[in-house]
């Protein structure tokens, strides 16, 4: 394999050879009579070595500065904004270091503002949900009292109108409750009560409860449960997730269909799955199902509307416990939702962004790919793509091909980048 030497190493070798040459000249001069010619050669060699030595010292200092800059840029690329380059002379490298420090400060301010905005959004969501929910309870109570004739008799048309109002009020109350739950998840304030429990019994209880959900569809819920030893988890939260997934499976199943709930013990967790044989979901929408309010345009979806936040909350609950949740399946062939329950309870919750998170995450991953390829100029390329329209796999691949034609990327680099982008959107 060919060994590549850096410039600094090559320069050191040249100086070493020059010193050996000078030493040879001196040794030769000692053994031979000193002539004007030999003296001139030795003095010339000495001057040459001195110049090379001075150059070597400068190159060594220059190489060390470049190495520090490269290391600092690497940290910045990984999102470390607590780096500063100090003790640089007032020269070109010093100007680069000064500009680098200014760039880091700008990026640090932007990151701080982003965090503050994210926290403000979560706080606003929490406060608004509380303020909206406060009047809901007395409102619902008075509506129910009117319906039951507490304030006097009402006719048939009035009862029908009140029933519609109460139904929509309950739906609004559910949405508010879901937003409150999301605000707790995003602020890492979701409450867990971990107790040593038999997860099989919890799953069986939820399945039995859900058998009577939408009875007119006559859905058969089957179980394939393996033996799981007792371990610490939150039964209420796991029941909440499972109830949501079975509810979702029933909604998207045709009458008289079957649903299968399975468990499997794995190394560090229990794997739970809910399989239906309904309409399924397109491959490109698998991750989007966990985004708030996402709905595929299907007849069954329009028949059974929900708040659009159920799967988002499921993701938040599972990830808050260091678990995973995902979906498999094909359009027209049903879906399988999987989630894991770790055997070790989470000790410290971390904030999880649920509102607009997938879109934000994809964009950040795309930016990271371009930064790896082009450094800080990568952001400019992503901004250029945004100006042309939406950020998606097609628009990014087209831009990469365009950069290839401009010789910014080689064909090999272009192919690698397109592969990385495909992975982001797969």
pLDDT in tens, 326-344: 998 888 888 999 999 999 9
Asked if residue 2 is part of any domain, the answer here is no
Residue 131: Cβ within 10 Å count: 10
* Pairwise CA distance, residues 426 & 421, whole Å: 9
Query: What are the two backbone dihedrals, phi and then psi, of residue 253, each rounded to the nearest 5 degrees?
Result: -105, 150
Burial class for 320, CB neighbours closer than 10 Å (0-12, 13-18, 19+): buried
In a domain, 289, yes or no: yes
End-to-end CA distance of the chain: 37
pLDDT at site 278: 87
The domain in which residue 412 lies consists of 357-425
Both structure tokens of 246: 């079975």
Which pLDDT belongs to residue 16? 61
Same domain, yes or no: 178 and 217 = no
The last residue of one of the domains, among 59, 77, 95, is 77
Instruction: Tell me: do 201 and 313 sit in the same domain.
Output: yes
Q: Are residues 227 and 296 in the same domain?
A: yes
Going by the DSSP 8-state scheme, the letter that residue 153 receives in this structure is: -
Mapping DSSP to helix (H, G, I), strand (E, B) and coil, where does residue 391 land? coil
Contacts with 352 (C-beta within 8 Å, 6 or more apart), sequence order: 185, 186, 188, 315, 316, 319, 320
* Predicted pLDDT of residue 2: 44
Q: Look at residue 188 in the predicted model and tell me its pLDDT.
A: 76
Residue 304 is encoded by which pair of tokens? 């059974």
What's the CA gap between 127 and 133, in Å, rounded?
10
Query: Are β-strands 258-265 and 220-224 bridged in parallel, bridged antiparallel, or unpaired?
Result: parallel
CA distance linking residue 8 with residue 100, whole number of Å: 24
What's residue 308's pLDDT?
75
- Report yes or no on 1 lying in a domain: no
Rounded CA-CA distance 369/418 in Å is 10
Residues 202, 328 within the same domain: yes
Dist CA 207 CA 258 (whole Å): 12
CB 384 within 8 A of CB 399: yes
Q: Which residue matches tokens 């949405």? A: 175
**Letter string b/e over residues 55-89, b meaning 16 or more CB atoms within 10 A of that residue's CB:** ebeebeeeeebeebbeebbeebeeeeeeeebeebe
* pLDDT lower than 50: segments of the chain: 1-5, 7, 298-302
- Do 223 and 261 belong together in one domain? yes
Model pLDDT, residue 307: 65
Question: Is 22 inside any structural domain?
Answer: yes
The single residue listed with the structure tokens 């055997």 is 343
Q: Tell me whether residue 110 is in a domain.
A: yes
Same structural domain, 293 and 258: yes
- Same structural domain for residues 203 and 153? no
263 is a domain residue:
yes
CATH code at position 237: 3.30.565.10
52, 64, 95, 400 from 57: Cα distances, Å: 9, 11, 21, 42
The CA-atom distances, in angstroms, between 153 and each of 156, 169, 359 are 10, 22, 53
CB atoms within 10 A of CB 358: 18
Same domain, 40 and 127: no
User: Are residues 73 and 45 located together in one domain of the fold?
Assistant: yes
Q: Is the residue at 89 inside a domain? A: yes
Number of domains in the chain: 4
CATH of the domain at 104: 1.10.287
Query: How many C-beta atoms surround the C-beta of residue 198 within 10 A?
Result: 14
Same domain, 181 and 304: no
pTM over 0.75: no
Kindly report each contact of residues 121-129 with a partner whose C-beta sits within 8 Å and lies 24 or more positions away, as own/partner.
121/355, 122/183, 122/186, 122/187, 122/351, 123/183, 123/187, 125/179, 125/182, 125/183, 125/186, 125/355, 126/180, 126/183, 126/184, 126/187, 128/179, 129/176, 129/177, 129/179, 129/180, 129/183
CA–chain centroid gap for 193, Å, is 27
Amino acid 233: pLDDT: 95
Q: Is 198 helix (H, G, I), strand (E, B) or coil?
A: coil
Residues 327 and 199 grouped into a single domain? yes
C-alpha closest to that of 201 among 228, 163, 179: 228
pLDDT in tens, 216-268: 888 899 999 999 999 999 999 999 999 999 998 998 888 889 999 999 999 89
How much is the pLDDT for 342?
A: 93
End position of a domain, from candidates 282, 307, 342: 342
Q: Is 352 part of a structural domain of the chain?
A: no
- Domain endpoint, select from 49, 77, 105: 77
Q: Are residues 38 and 86 in the same domain?
A: no
């Amino acid at each position: 394999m060919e060994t590549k030497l850096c410039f600094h190493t090559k320069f050191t070798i040249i100086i070493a050879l020059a010193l050996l040459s000078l030493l040879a000249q001196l040794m030769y001069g000692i053994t031979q009579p000193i002539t004007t010619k030999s003296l001139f050669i030795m003095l010339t060699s000495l001057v040459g070595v001195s110049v090379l030595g001075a150059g070597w010292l400068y190159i060594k200092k220059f190489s060390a500065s470049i190495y520090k800059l490269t290391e600092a840029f690497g940290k910045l690329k990984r999102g470390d904004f607590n780096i500063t380059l100090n003790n640089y002379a007032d020269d070109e490298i010093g100007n680069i270091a000064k500009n680098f420090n200014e760039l880091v400060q700008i990026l640090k301010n932007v990151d701080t503002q982003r965090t503050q905005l994210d926290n403000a959004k979560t706080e606003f969501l929490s406060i608004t949900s509380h303020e909206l929910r406060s009047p809901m309870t007395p409102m619902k109570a008075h509506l129910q009292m009117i319906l039951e004739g507490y304030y006097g008799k009402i006719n048939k048309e009035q009862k029908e109108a009140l029933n519609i109002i109460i139904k929509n009020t309950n739906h609004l109350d559910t949405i508010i409750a879901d937003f409150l739950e999301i605000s707790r998840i995003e602020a890492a304030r979701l409450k867990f009560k971990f107790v040593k429990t038999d997860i099989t019994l919890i799953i069986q209880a939820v399945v039995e409860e859900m058998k009577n959900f939408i009875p007119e569809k006559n859905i058969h819920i089957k179980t394939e449960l393996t033996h799981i030893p007792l371990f610490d988890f939150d039964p209420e939260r796991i029941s909440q997730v499972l109830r949501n997934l079975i509810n979702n499976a029933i909604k998207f199943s045709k009458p008289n269909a079957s649903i299968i709930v399975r468990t499997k013990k794995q190394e560090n967790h229990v794997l739970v799955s809910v399989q239906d044989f309904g309409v399924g979901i397109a491959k490109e929408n698998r991750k989007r199902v966990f985004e708030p309010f996402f709905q595929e345009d299907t007849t069954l979806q329009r028949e059974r509307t929900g708040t659009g936040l159920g799967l988002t909350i499921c993701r938040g609950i599972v990830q808050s416990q260091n678990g995973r949740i995902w979906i498999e399946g094909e359009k027209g062939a049903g879906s399988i939702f999987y989630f894991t329950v770790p055997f070790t309870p989470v000790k410290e919750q971390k904030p999880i962004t649920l509102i607009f998170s997938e879109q934000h995450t994809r964009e950040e991953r795309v930016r990271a790919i371009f930064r790896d390829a082009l450094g800080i100029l990568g952001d400019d390329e992503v901004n250029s793509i945004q100006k042309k329209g939406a950020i998606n796999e097609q628009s990014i691949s087209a831009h990469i091909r365009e950069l290839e034609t401009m010789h910014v990327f080689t064909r090999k680099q272009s192919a690698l980048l397109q592969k990385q982008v495909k992975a982001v959107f797969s």
